[in-house]
Amino acid sequence: MKSMLKQGLLVAALTASAAPAAMAAECADADRVPITWSTIAGFYTDAMASLVSGFEAGHCVKVNVINIDNSQLYNKQVIEMVGETGAYDVVTLETSEKAEFAENGFILPMTDYFADKQAQLDDVAPTLAALTTRYKGDVWGLPYYTYTAGYIYRADLFDDPVEQEAFKKRFDYDLAVPTTWAQHHDIAEFFTRKAGETLKGEALTKDFYGVGLMAGPFPEIQDEMSGVLWSQGADWLTDDGTVPVDAVEKAMNDYLELMKYAPPAALTVTYDGVMNQMKDGQIAQTYSFFLDQWPNAVQTENTVPGARMGVAEAPEKKAYIGGFLLAVSTSSAHPQEAMDFVAYIGGFLLAVSTSSAHPQEAMDFVAYIGGHDAQMEFARAGGTSTLMSVLSDPGFATPESRTKTGHFATLLEIFDSMKGFRSNLFDTPFGAKIYNTMQIPLQSAAAGQINAREAAERLASEVEKICGGPCPIGK
472 within some domain: no
373 within some domain: yes
Q: Is the pLDDT of residue 321 over 50?
A: no
Q: Are residues 326 and 179 in the same domain?
A: yes
Q: Are residues 460 and 395 in the same domain?
A: no
d(CA 41, CA 426): 24
Note the pLDDT of residue 1.
36
State the average pLDDT for the chain: 89
The beta strands (E) that lie in 177-258 are given as 198-199, 202-203
Q: Are residues 157 and 104 in the same domain?
A: no
110-124, 132-146, 335-349: least confidently modelled range: 335-349
48-52, 169-173, 254-258: least confidently modelled range: 48-52
Q: Is the pLDDT of residue 322 over 80?
A: no
Note the pLDDT of residue 50.
78
**Closest Cα to residue 273, out of 320, 326, 212, 329?**
212
311 within some domain: yes
Q: Are residues 329 and 354 in the same domain?
A: no
328 within some domain: yes
473 within some domain: no
**Helix 49-58 × helix 372-380 angle, to 10°:** 150
Report phi then psi at 390, rounded to 5.
-85, -50
Helix, strand, or coil (residue 197):
strand
474 within some domain: no
R_g (Cα) of the chain, nearest Å = 23
Q: Are residues 96 and 184 in the same domain?
A: no
Q: Are residues 15 and 117 in the same domain?
A: yes
Q: Are residues 57 and 118 in the same domain?
A: yes
pLDDT tens, 89-110? 999 999 999 999 999 999 999 9
Domain boundary among 355, 375, 405: 405
Helix, strand, or coil (residue 208):
strand
Q: Which residues contact 262 (CB under 8 A, 6 or more apart)?
A: 188, 209, 210, 211, 212, 213, 215, 283
H/E stretch holding 339 reads: strand 336-339
Q: Are residues 304 and 375 in the same domain?
A: no
Report phi then psi at 376, rounded to 5.
-65, -45
Domain boundary among 405, 432, 449: 405
**The domain spanning residue 136 has which CATH number?**
3.40.190.10
52 within some domain: yes
Q: Give the pairing of strands 138-139 and 134-135.
A: antiparallel
Assess contact for 235 and 327: CB atoms under 8 A: yes
Q: What is the pTM of this model?
A: 0.89
Q: Are residues 448 and 305 in the same domain?
A: yes
Q: Are residues 133 and 183 in the same domain?
A: no
414 within some domain: no
Note the pLDDT of residue 202.
96
Quick one: DSSP state of residue 395? G
Note the pLDDT of residue 167.
98
**Helix 49-58 × helix 359-369 angle, to 10°:** 130
Q: Are residues 190 and 277 in the same domain?
A: yes
pLDDT tens, 365-403? 999 999 999 999 999 999 999 999 999 999 999 999 999
Note the pLDDT of residue 342.
64
H/E stretch holding 368 reads: helix 359-369
Assess contact for 350 and 366: CB atoms under 8 A: yes
Helix, strand, or coil (residue 237):
coil
H/E stretch holding 365 reads: helix 359-369
3-17, 189-203, 253-267: least confidently modelled range: 3-17
Note the pLDDT of residue 331.
31
Q: Is the pLDDT of residue 59 over 60?
A: yes
* DSSP letters for 11-58: HHHHHSPPPPHHHHHT--GGGPEEEEEEEESSHHHHTTHHHHHHHHHH
What is the residue range of 202's domain? 149-341+421-467
Partnered with residue 91 across adjacent β-strands are 351
Question: How many domains would you assign to the chain?
Answer: 2
Measured in residues, the chain has a length of: 475
Q: Are residues 309 and 248 in the same domain?
A: yes
